[in-house]
Amino acid sequence: MSDLLFGLDTFGDVPEDDSGKLVSHAAAIRQVVDEAVLADQLGVDVIALGEHHRPEYSVSTPETVLAGIATRTSRIRLASGVTVLSSDDPVRVFQRFATVDALSNGRAEVILGRGSFTESFPLFGYDLRDYDTLFEEKIELFVKLLDEKPVTWSGTLRAPLENADVFPKTESGHLDTWVGVGGSPQSVVRTAQYGLPLMLAIIGGAPERFAPYIDLYRRAADQLGTTAHPVGMHSPGFIADTDEQAKEIYWPHYRIMRDRIGKLRGWPPIRRQEFDSEVENGSLYIGSPETVARRMARAIRSLGVGRFDLIYSAGAQPVSARLRAVELYGSKVIPMVRDLLA
């Protein structure tokens, strides 16, 4: 499995400095760039930045931060994780990522998603009642743009295009594009319909329960006559020198973040026992390099995925701890996983 790819994923969570004080959004963005530079130096394959419009996250425009990262790195691929296409304009998304692709000498990729948070919809003037239609129409247009030829298109929620050409073009004529899916069979089939790679957000429960989605993707591609690409997964986790240290750094910040989201979605407060169970048997990859590598290898083997992106930040973990997690992932975890799967 030498063609396996390993990535890191962050939303630019605003961290604490070593005195325990939250840094500014500007400092958090610069910190993301530093973490990506370190990942590049350590041989990590991909850095993915997720779009959010909430106070605890600093990255609202992934491609702008990726452009900054492009100027300080040489090999790491630069991805969104995800771009909320439903509340953006497909033409502008293509243009911005084609620009990142130019700055990075062909290293840009976009992961399109509907968004698990809804703040961007009222912020940019979209009606949540159009949630499904917005994504369906916009991904249809985006796929046409990927041909990099003049486009004629019409829909119900955006002005039509008539033989419209879009610039800049990519140098290679190809912009790597994935679709991020959280567990909707319809979204899996749509991804197969367009012949795009599938990135599964596996953020809770046993990873093996997502195997039917991967099977559905491959069967749908076969029946629709499109290409079934290698599937990727992204899951949360954290790495420290020991299992106990990793859990004790991660848990308090994760609890605050999880309960904040839970209040909005009607979830009860998370208990430590639930957290520990998720670490042991679910989709939280937390622990020493050896522990995380072992659990990653098991998930990769059981699902047959070709890429694993670790969401390495959750809440306000200290800057120093986050840098150490990136260092351990690149220098120890990735080589261990490759050895375990050899």
- Please tell me the distance from the alpha carbon of residue 214 to that of residue 153, in angstroms, as a whole number: 31
State the alpha helices, DSSP H only, in 61-109: 62-70, 90-103
| Residue 283: both structure tokens together | 């989709």
pLDDT, residue 116, reads: 80
| Residue 101: both structure tokens together | 């692709």
pLDDT, residue 1, reads: 56
Domain count, the chain: 1
Distance separating the N- and C-terminal Cα atoms of the chain:
6
pLDDT, residue 2, reads: 62
8 A C-beta contact, residue 58 and residue 28: yes
Taking alpha carbons only, the member of 187, 196, 188 closest to residue 226 is 196
Provide the whole-model pTM: 0.97
pLDDT, residue 264, reads: 87
State the alpha helices, DSSP H only, in 266-333: 272-281, 289-303, 319-328
Taking alpha carbons only, the member of 178, 177, 279 closest to residue 235 is 279
Residue with tokens 């917005």, as numbered in its chain: 134
Q: What is the mean pLDDT of each run of 10 residues along the chain (342 residues)?
A: 90 94 98 99 99 97 99 98 98 99 99 92 96 98 99 98 99 98 95 98 96 98 97 98 98 95 91 97 98 98 98 96 99 99 96
- Please tell me the distance from the alpha carbon of residue 147 to that of residue 136, in angstroms, as a whole number: 18
The CATH code of the domain that includes 49 is: 3.20.20.30
8 A C-beta contact, residue 117 and residue 87: no
φ, ψ of residue 232 in degrees (nearest 5): -110, 160
Dihedral class, residue 248 (left if φ above 0, else alpha if ψ from -120 to 50, else beta): alpha
Amino acid at 318: P
The parent domain of residue 236 ranges over 5-341
